[in-house]
Amino acid sequence: MVEMYYDKDASFEILKNKTIAVLGYGSQGHAQSQNLKDSGLNVIVGLRKGSKRWQQAENDGMSVNTVSEAVKDADIIQILLPDEVQAKVYEEKIEPNLDPGNALVFSHGFNIHYNQIVPPSDVDVYMVAPKSPGHLVRRTFKDNTGVPGLIAIYQNATGKAHDLALAHSKGVGCTRAGVFETTFREETETDLFGEQVDLCGGVASLIKTSFEVLVEAGYQPEMAYFETLHELKLIVDLIHEGGLEKMWYSVSNTAEYGGLTVGPKIINELSREAMYEALERIQNGEFAREFVLEGRVNNPVLKSMERKEREHAIEEVGRELRAKMPWLNSELNEK
């Protein structure tokens, strides 16, 4: 059974007199930097000159500087920039300003695991990864709770990387809910697999296809939207609270019998084969190469797919219906 770490297992003493530079102020950057500051730690936000986030960070009470200057002033450098830009920023702004004994921190292992960033041997490299979108990392922290998280040690130059990772996790609020240890490889590969096969890619494709089948069969698009997309949150909430067992217990016998008999016909052996293919592309680096090259040419394929998603009928119907439901939480649209 995996060991969990909590507040009692971490101490801020190791971070005393240290400065943490958080590079980036997006979803995770704004949340983690503010949580660290509210935990009493010394934090600088590093942004490029002219960034639209600069004023926002200052309005939030954060000290802000350029990436290069923030790295120079810091002992611990947390890189919370998009995966596709991290390597370039590291080469140009971070690496020239690193000192021996510094620590590099990531919340996703992509650039380390796939050797886009190769740190010098005299710095610590560890991961602090809240398992939640940034707005929830911040909201739960302010509510005196937290979200679960991961830590991983890639390089332990000072011999203190593990203690630093736990203290850093405490500052973000993750040890309130529980933190367990993994590796950069395991976090990266399982995270990418979950995103592609289940949480994002698989679910989105399942929703769109089931919507299309109902509409093509002559049902009203609005009814199809509610049955294939809108109600999904209710089911996911049950699963989140008590696993599949609570979900099956909570739905009707009709839903349970239909789901258990038809579900395996939808997600079948062909689906399983496709999942293994996706996992192999992640493990052998094929997906990473494709994604890195896509970023180098300004993401034309991604932008095209985003446009097609926006123009899908389920999105057009959804926008109209959601406009009539003002109680929906607009915070979910935050970046």
Q: What does the pLDDT look like over 81-106, one tens digit per residue?
A: 999 999 999 999 999 999 999 999 99
For Cα atoms 147, 150, 156, give the angle at the middle one, nearest 5 degrees.
140
Residues 6+ apart with CB under 8 A from 110: 83, 86, 116, 188, 192, 288
Q: Are the beta carbons of 45 and 78 closer than 8 angstroms? A: no
Question: Does residue 246 lie in a domain region?
Answer: yes
- Domain final residue pick, 182, 212, 230: 182
Residue ranges for the known binding site for substrate are: 252
> Do 41 and 152 fall into the same domain?
yes
**Is residue 40 in a domain?**
yes
The residue segments making up the domain with residue 220 are 200-267+299-332
Residues 13, 92: one domain? yes
Residue ranges of the binding site for NADP(+): 25-28, 48, 51, 134
**Co-location of 322 and 233 in the same domain:** yes
| Same structural domain, 20 and 163 | yes
pLDDT computed for residue 327 by the predictor: 81
Residue 30 falls in the annotated catalytic set: no
Q: Catalytic one among 108, 113, 135, 168?
A: 108
Phi, psi of 5 (to 5 degrees): -110, 140
pLDDT at site 329? 60
- Token digits for 178? 């529980």
Q: Is residue 96 part of a domain?
A: yes
pLDDT value, residue 185: 98
Same domain, residue pair 222 and 320? yes
| In a domain? residue 126 | yes
Q: Is residue 278 part of a domain?
A: no
Any domain includes 272:
no
Structure tokens, 169: 């996790």
Output the pTM of the full model: 0.91
Question: Which of 137, 156, 182 is where one domain is finished?
Answer: 182
Condensed to tens digits (0 to 9), the pLDDT of residues 268-300 reads 999 999 999 999 999 999 999 999 999 999 999
Predicted local distance difference test score (pLDDT) of residue 333 = 46
- The annotation places the binding site at 25-28, 48, 51, 134, 191, 195, 227, 231, 252
83/302 Cα distance (integer angstroms)? 14
Query: Residues forming the annotated binding site for Mg(2+)?
Result: 191, 195, 227, 231
Specify if 195 maps to a domain.
no
Kindly list the distances between the CA atom of residue 268 and the CA atoms of 7, 198, 208, 263, 281, in Å, as whole numbers in the listed order: 43, 14, 18, 8, 20
- The answer to whether residue 280 sits within a structural domain is no
Instruction: Give the residues of the chain that fall short of pLDDT 70.
Output: 329-335
- Which residue among 182, 211, 234 closes a domain? 182
Query: In which element (H, E) is residue 226 found?
Result: none
How much is the pLDDT for 221? 97
Q: Are residues 260 and 112 in the same domain?
A: no
